[in-house]
Amino acid sequence: MRTQGPPYALASPQGQPIEALFKSKPEDFEVHEIPAYPPSGTGEHIYIHIEKRGIDTIEAIRRLSRALKLSPTRFGHAGMKDRHALSTQWLSIHSPLPSSALEKLALPGLRILEISRHRNKLRAGHLRANRFCIVLRKVAPSCFEPIRERLEWLKTQGLPAYFGEQRFGRAGDNATRAWEWLLGKGQAPSHSLEGRLWVSALQAEIFNALLDARIRAGEYGRIIEGDLVRKEDTGGLFIADGSLAMQERAARFELSPTGPIVGPRMLWPEGEARRREEAAIAQAGLHPELLSRLGRYGKGSRRPYRFPVRDTHISFDASNHLVTIHFTLPPGAYATELIRELTQGGARDASLLHQGAAPTNNQSND
């Protein structure tokens, strides 16, 4: 199903690629989770605020579960954080353990900053935003101004909501695996987590293709007739017309058009927007019976075609060829897509170069 095509389009003002390195060390890629709510201080779930360096969220949970002799299923998290980063986030643990059992824990790559309690388990998406501080190294001083200008442009127009490469699995073939399983030509997922990963890759591939087409047409922030749009202040969805009033609201970043995360329970747009989505889904070969089967691991939802970029600050160090960028993104946004836009795809992931792997510009930061 999957074909090798040109790179996804860039939305920011076009120019020459800017060479840079990111993730040269974990401290060059800081991610700080902003929770959706503070823990209440009481409840059956322990809430811990952790700092981790050089390990991802799943590995942090593994180390904690072994140290505390608890099943990993007792842990909850709001979002996944990169391995090659210095990050902070909240985890929940369903356990009657006293706080003292955690206060003295000393684990490699991980430390506990705060302990509290709350009534419910942390679930994916229970966060307000992620705050980033990213250092780009080996940047020519002549490139500082184009980077600054593109950051200002993204603040007003929004960051394209592409799914990053890791969404498709370590080998990049999860969408193909999902497709072969749906057609009965390949093996079924061995467990529910694998099924969700395969299906999410297939969903991401369809979404990315539709977003790419809108960017190439100059429409990723515009509203077309029948779009299912998202209110940026509340997250509410409604069908929009293509009127001037709607376009003005989109220009003020009050509204953003959304694309499909395909599944049997997905909400549909109307008019021209629906025709485009139906064509893309049909081209992918997902007729209603396959969509129903896919729904076992992905019910379907909507995703905005762009994300707001807020709280930005940028500084330059010409003598050391460094650019330091602070910004905040909502859940589900990929910080490395912002790096790709700022450098026009010229930045390389130094953590992968150290491993002898091919460089990539897309890691998960939701």
Instruction: Measure the CA–CA gap between 343 and 63, rounded to whole angstroms.
Output: 36
Cβ(15)–Cβ(69) under 8 Å? no
Q: In this predicted model, what pLDDT tens digit does every residue of 58-87 receive, in sequence order? A: 999 999 999 999 999 999 999 989 889 999
Enumerate domains of the chain plus CATH numbers: 20-27+129-156+310-354 (3.30.70), 37-124 (3.30.2350.20), 159-307 (3.30.2340.10)
The percent of residues in the chain predicted with pLDDT above 90, rounded, is: 73
150-203 pLDDT, tens per residue? 999 999 999 999 998 778 877 788 888 988 898 888 888 888 888 888 999 999
Query: How far is 24 from 22, CA to CA, in rounded Å?
Result: 5
Q: pTM, whole model, 2 decimals?
A: 0.88
Query: For this structure, is 317 an active site residue?
Result: no
Across the range 315-337, mean pLDDT stands at 96
Distance of CA 344 to the CA centre of its chain: 19
Mention every residue, 6+ apart, whose C-beta is less than 8 A from residue 156: 253
Q: In angstroms, rounded to a whole number, what is the distance separating the alpha carbons of residues 55 and 196? A: 22
**Residue 359: per-residue pLDDT:** 39
Q: CA–CA distance from 282 to each of 18, 216, 324 (Å)? A: 38, 21, 44
Say how far apart CA 339 and CA 135 lie, in whole Å.
10
The residue to which tokens 């998960």 are assigned: 364
The pLDDT of residue 168: 85
Tens digit of pLDDT for each residue in 97-143?
Answer: 998 889 989 899 999 999 999 999 999 889 999 999 999 999 999 99
- Of 82, 212, 227, 349, which residue is the catalytic one? 82
Round the average pLDDT of the chain to a whole number and report it: 91
The answer to whether residue 228 scores a pLDDT higher than 50 is yes
Q: How confident is the model at residue 354 (pLDDT cuts 50, 70, 90)?
A: low
Angle between helices 192-216 and 174-182 (to 10 degrees): 110
